[in-house]
Amino acid sequence: MQSIPYQAPASVSEAVALLGSDAEARVLAGGTDLLVQVRGGVRKPSAWIDVKRIPDLLGVSVEGDSIRIGAATPAAVIFEHPELQRLVPGVAEATDLIGSTQIQGRATLGGNLCNASPAADTTPALIAVGAQCIVAGSGGEREIAVEAFATGPGQTALAQGELLVAVRIPKPAARTADAYLRLIPRTEMDIAVVGAGVALTLGDDGTCTQARVAIGAVAPTALLLEEAAAALVGSRVDDDALARVAAAATAAARPIDDKRGTIAYRRKVVGVLAKRAAAIAANRAQER
């Protein structure tokens, strides 16, 4: 590999300044996507800006009505966080699916979002729980909903010189729970062929009062599905409602045929996973 200048800023402002001064510089988090891309000749950054030493980007905290996850927090730290596991089990389960134990020690949430793979596992899970991206640029901070963050494969809403600082998840209301499922042909070390995340709230009588359904790997970006959510709201999350969720997910999917799966297969299975995730989320909500 060529030698590439390396810097490890200690603050967000320092990082933003470095990024602003060099359009070809790249943020380096865990490197589990980036190093593979550089080695494969897909990317040729002019400089590494390592963000793992910026305190604002590290750690999980639950403050007031939200959960904050620093962008450079590795997957293993996230899913091992007991409170996060309890509050948003679907998000925990999505981070726990990334790669393998070794990969999870490096792979960060921010890297997963910023790499903007249509198959990124945390994205549908975060969309389902209504997460926001906190982004810093030379002009200060702004928030972008996760569903609007990726704009295409490998493309994000980040402007040149901007840095993803953290992800903010609203603390779930009472009787609210989430779930994330993905399909891979193996059990680990694979890329989602299809993924689905669901968060929902149940009323006292077991009727669903709110829902968000998101699917991944079946379109250029993860999709938030209004219709699938509508199929849940007002229902008791029974077989009928689940069948409608599945149908809505299948209808919304716009997958491609590739070495990882066919169009027909992805459309079918995204429905299956969406309904299964909804059923799990409903069970979890019931127990709260």
Partner 1 sequence: MSERKFKQVGTRPIRHDGLEKVTGRANFGADYSLPGMLQGAVLRSPHAHAKIVSIDTSPALEVEGVKAVISGRDFPIPTREGDRQQYGDVPDLANNVIARDKVLYHGHAVAAVAATTIEAAQRGAEKIRVEYEVLPPVLDIESAIAPDAAILHDDLVCQGPAPVPSSPTNVARRTLLSGGDIEQGFADSDVVVEREFTTPMVHQGYIEPHATVVETLENGNVTIWCCTQGPFAVRGLTASVTGIELSKIKVIPSEIGGGFGGKTTIYLEPLAVELSRRSGRPVKLVMSREEVFRATGPTSAGRVRVKMGARKDGRLVAAEVVMYYEAGAFPGSPVGAGCMCALSAYCFDHFVIDGYDVVTTKPRVAAYRAPGAPIAAFGVEQVVDEVAERLGLDPIELRLLNAVQENDVAPYGPKYQAIGFRETLEEARKHPNYSATLGPNQGRGVASGFWFNAGLQSSASVHMNEDGTAIVTTGNPDIGGSRAAQAIMVAEELGIGAEQVVPLVGDTESAGYTDLTGGSRTAYATGMAIIEASQDIVRQLRERAAKIWGVELDGVAWEDGRAVPSNGAASDVEPLNLAEIAAQMGATGGPIVAQAAVSPPMAGPGFATHLCDVEVDQETGKVTVLRYTTVQDAGKAVHPSYVEGQMQGGAAQGIGWALNEEYIFDENGVVENPGFLDYRMPVASDLPMIDTVIVEVANPLHPYGVRGVGETPIVPPLACVANAVAAATGKRFTDLPISPPRVLAAIDGD
Contacts with partner 1 by CB under 8 A lie at 2, 100, 183, 185-191, 193, 259-262, 264-265, 268-269, 272-273
The DSSP secondary-structure symbol of 217 reads: S
Q: What is the DSSP string of 268-281?
A: HHHHHHHHHHHHHH
Give the CB-nearest residue to ligand FAD.
111
| Shortest distance in whole angstroms from residue 116 CB to ligand FAD | 8
Q: Cα 71 to the chain's mean position, in Å? A: 11
Output 27 or 252, the one with its CB closest to ligand FAD: 27
Asked if 89 and 78 touch (Cβ cutoff 8 Å), the reply is no
Q: Say whether residue 133 binds ligand FAD (CB under 6 A).
A: no
Residue 121 has phi, psi (to 5 degrees) of -75, -35
Find the part of the chain contacting ligand FAD (CB under 6 A) among 94-102, 173-181, 250-258, 261-269. Answer: 94-102
| Shortest distance in whole angstroms from residue 127 CB to ligand FAD | 14
Question: Which two tokens mark 121?
Answer: 């596992």
Find the part of the chain contacting ligand FAD (CB under 6 A) among 106-114, 222-230, 240-248, 273-281. Answer: 106-114
Question: Which two tokens mark 45?
Answer: 């950054």
| Shortest distance in whole angstroms from residue 279 CB to partner 1 | 12
Output 19 or 246, the one with its CB closest to ligand FAD: 19
Q: Which long-range contacts (CB under 8 A, 24 or more apart) does 33-39 make?
A: 33/111, 33/115, 33/117, 34/111, 34/115, 38/1, 38/4, 39/1
Residue 118 has phi, psi (to 5 degrees) of -60, -20
Output 9 or 216, the one with its CB closest to partner 1: 216
Binds 58: which of ligand FAD, partner 1, none (CB < 5-8 Å by kind): none
Binds 260: which of ligand FAD, partner 1, none (CB < 5-8 Å by kind): partner 1
Binds 30: which of partner 1, ligand FAD, none (CB < 5-8 Å by kind): ligand FAD
Helix axes 263-286, 239-252, angle to 10 degrees: 140
**Total chain residues near ligand FAD (CB under 6 A):** 30
For ligand FAD, the binding residues in 158-177 under the rule CB under 6 A are: 163-164
Task: Give the side-chain half-sphere CA count within 13 A for 157.
Answer: 15
Q: Which residues contact 103 (CB under 8 A, 6 or more apart)?
A: 32, 75, 189
- For binding to ligand FAD (CB under 6 A), which residues are involved? 26-34, 36, 51, 71-72, 97-99, 103, 106-108, 110-112, 114-115, 120-121, 163-164, 189
